[in-house]
Amino acid sequence: MRIRLGLAALSLFGGAGLVTLSAPPATAAATATATAAACPDIDVVAARGTFEPGDLGFIVGDPVYSALQKKITGKSLSGYKVNYPADLSLTSAAQGNADVVNHVKSQAAACPNQRFVLVGYSQGANVVDNSIGISSAGAVVGSPIVATIPAALEPKVAAVLLFGNPIRAIGKSVTGTYQSRTIDFCANGDPICQNGGTDVGAHLGYTANADAAATFAAGKV
């Protein structure tokens, strides 16, 4: 959530009635400073897994964001929790897909110099896959693509961090434009991302990869 504070008018009640004292016009320097404060250098857009608790996601999003804060020095960061159900409904991933694209477009318009790190875990990886043009249709909790990040904004996506990505279990992966900017973790035995995997616990262990993911992203921003 981003909060913008602005000084409007200060209203005082006196004996002669209502008196309004207006703040002086903002200087160009003050406006530039306020804009910079509202536009961190890096926006971390995190799509949590199915029913995953936490702010950006207890297993992946939160620990990755914390690791990014340590690894990316000299730049300011913000975090955005993708607004979608993250449940087992047929439209869940599609709703997340639409929200990611809408968020990136609106942020790019408001903050032209801002770059993005996209983070997706489990169903959230489907959300990110779709948003960068790789369909998750046919994968566990996947969906057809409903929106993609416009080509003009592709360079603003510095890194894509995926964990337990369901499309891998159906033989797919991120290819094309984003391939060199993507790191995709699939633990051995994870049944969500590995065809034939049987170790459910493996799907819950991606916190261990947060540091490696942040190191990768830091090398891309």
Catalytic residue chosen out of the listed positions 78, 92, 136, 203: 203
Q: In what order do the strands lie in the sheet with 42-47?
A: 77-81, 42-47, 115-121, 157-163, 182-185
Is 55 annotated in the active site? no
Is 193:166 a contact under the CB 8 Å cutoff?
A: yes
Catalytic residue chosen out of the listed positions 43, 129, 184, 190: 190
Catalytic residue chosen out of the listed positions 43, 62, 99, 122: 122
Is 203 annotated in the active site? yes
3-state DSSP call for residue 30? Answer: helix
CA atoms within 13 Å, Cβ hemisphere of 34: 11
Is 103 annotated in the active site? no
Those residues whose C-beta lies under 8 Å from the C-beta of residue 35, and which sit 6 or more positions away, are none
Which residues are catalytic, by number?
122, 190, 203
